[in-house]
Amino acid sequence: MNIDSIKNGLVIDHIKAGKSMQIYHYLNLENLDCQVAIIKNASSQRMGKKDIIKIDAELDIDFDALGYIDPGITVNVIKNGEKVNKLHPDLPDTITDIIKCSNPRCITSVEQEIHHIFKLTDKANGVYRCMYCESLPKISQ
């Protein structure tokens, strides 16, 4: 398999196998007018299998969202065909409007203008709780 190298853009690497489509949809990559390559189940010595996303465009992305979706990923920034930066998003302390509260009585379920804010309460297990009612987030499929 041959995938062209990118000139200016991002390579999101070390994605847990099967999570690339969740990142693809969250970043709205389907709306871009550039080359986007998704490599699923690539061989990895460290992970066994991994996914990779290559985006041939400069983007402003939400690193908190990437850290929440998959804290093990790396993001390589490419300029003029060369890697200029390698970033490691981690679990953010708080996330806003990425997930929704599971509590039907939470203020975020009633008031539409309130942001869905979650705070990290257990870093070892990646557990977030609603800032308003302490409930867990809805499980997304």
The structural domains of the chain, with segments of one domain joined by +, span 9-87, 94-130
Architecture of the domain spanning 9-87: 2-Layer Sandwich (3.30)
Burial of residue 135 (CB within 10 Å: 0-12, 13-18, 19+) is middle
Query: What integer best gives the mean pLDDT of the chain?
Result: 90
Alpha carbons 6 and 29: distance in angstroms, whole number: 16
Question: What was the pLDDT predicted at 17?
Answer: 93
pLDDT digits (tens, 9 = 90+) for 76-104: 999 998 999 999 999 999 999 989 999 99
Predicted confidence band at 4 (pLDDT cuts at 50, 70, 90)?
Answer: low
Question: Does position 112 have pLDDT exceeding 70, yes or no?
Answer: yes
Question: What was the pLDDT predicted at 141?
Answer: 42
